[in-house]
Amino acid sequence: MAELKNNPQVCPYNLYAEQLSGSAFTCPRSTNKRSWLYRILPSVSHKPFESIDEGQVTHNWDEVDPDPNQLRWKPFEIPKASQKKVDFGLHTLCGAGDIKSNNGLAIHIFLCNTSMENRCFYNSDGDFLIVPQKGNLLIYTEFGKMLVQPNEICVIQRGMRFSIDVFEETRGYILEVYGVHFELPDLGPIGANGLANPRDFLIPIAWYEDRQVPGGYTVINKYQGKLFAAKQDVSPFNVVAWHGNYTPYKYNLKNFMVINSVAFDHADPSIFTVLTAKSVRPGVAIADFVIFPPRWGVADKTFRPPYYHRNCMSEFMGLIRGHYEAKQGGFLPGGGSLHSTMTPHGPDADCFEKASKVKLAPERIADGTMAFMFESSLSLAVTKWGLKASRCLDENYHKCWEPLKSHFTPNSRNPAEPN
């Protein structure tokens, strides 16, 4: 029987051994991330990187003056292939922190109408959590390939090369975190089962290619917020075998085990956390990925929609499909909203009136809908593209709260309950 070595003097099948480290060598075993890749050629076999145009990718959080207003975007427009072919168009919407010190995040919108042909991308700055909203993504990686559809997410971790095939005009959201990795939240008194279960996360299907590329294959790298490109003569997806715990993965949101209030009051949205990227402060995240899935609402004598709120966290929301319960109009699939640190937000006037008067009974909530939230302890700055160039900013968002009126009854502490 052959001895098991990570990097033998001569690898089986005459492959090259290459380690991909996602953490410092000396991290505790519980957080140490690395994989060994066995390749036809090592990834160092490329020509020098050269700077290329960043387009709408940025990490400059001082492009425009701060704006504490509630912001909402209409669905982001996908370029028409007949006008301009775009294969993985990243547009930075907002963010905070510093790439060079490995602390912070960015939220991007990706818009594309064609597949990446003889091109791949990797991110030296952080992890990508990708949320497709329109169109399927066939993602090729050094670990294999995976099909990611709307209502699924995938995470491409720092340094991993990937290429994407699309089949129609395609749109989605990306949460990028610097210096940390996404992980499952602790369950505490919930117990051993609940929320997103580890067994439901899937790694890529085994696949590799041994392909020469006449004219050169382009490897695009995001490094310190800038884009660079290098040419090489072979496909980067020439990993014949691998082992380790540092991989891309995907997750189907329908598998989320929902925990909810079964007596009274509206549970805090943290109960819907799928993945978290922790900060150094216990209980405080650089970013949480939270969903609002189909579920039962049974809370008694309770205003069931999300409550009015001012938050020390920043909340970016997106909608994959359906109609979000707190705002049935205006908040559309493929759009988004940002409620910044301590900026008030909550149900629109129509939602408040209906939910205050309805006779309560067990009911299904959000069937056919999937909304999500990127929540962060950082104060997010919106980019120039987000405020102006996207042309999708809804200037009338604030008007959804204007019809709210006083219902104060100073002479009656206990108003009549709905019939």
- Let me know: does 57 contact 222? Beta carbons within 8 Å: yes
Note if 315 is an active site residue. yes
Helix %, strand %, coil % of the chain (to 5):
10, 40, 55
Bridge partner list, 222: 123, 227
Note if 266 is an active site residue. yes
From the list 54, 63, 169, 266, the catalytic residue is 266
From the list 46, 91, 181, 339, the catalytic residue is 339
- Let me know: does 93 contact 336? Beta carbons within 8 Å: yes
From the list 54, 63, 169, 309, the catalytic residue is 309
Note if 46 is an active site residue. no
DSSP class of residue 248 equals: -
In sequence order, what DSSP letters do the residues of 15-52 get, joined into one string?
Answer: PEEEEEESS-TTS-GGG--EEEEEESS-TT-SPPPEE-
DSSP class of residue 202 equals: B
Note if 309 is an active site residue. yes
**Pick from 289, 311, 274, 268: nearest CA to 375:** 289
Tell how far CA 358 is from the center of its chain: 35
| Numbers of helices and strands, H then E, in the chain | 2, 25
From the list 142, 315, 325, 375, the catalytic residue is 315
Enumerate residues 6+ apart whose C-beta is below 8 A from 196. 184, 251, 255, 256, 257, 274, 275
**Tokens 């089962």 sit at which residue?**
193
Enumerate residues 6+ apart whose C-beta is below 8 A from 210. 40, 234, 235, 238
Rounded Cα–Cα distance for residues 355 and 368 (Å): 20
Rounded Cα–Cα distance for residues 170 and 166 (Å): 7
What are the two backbone dihedrals, phi and then psi, of residue 180, each rounded to the nearest 5 degrees? Answer: -135, 170
> What number of CA atoms fall less than 13 Å from residue 74's CA on the CB side?
10
- Let me know: does 42 contact 16? Beta carbons within 8 Å: yes
Residues forming the active site: 266, 309, 315, 339, 345
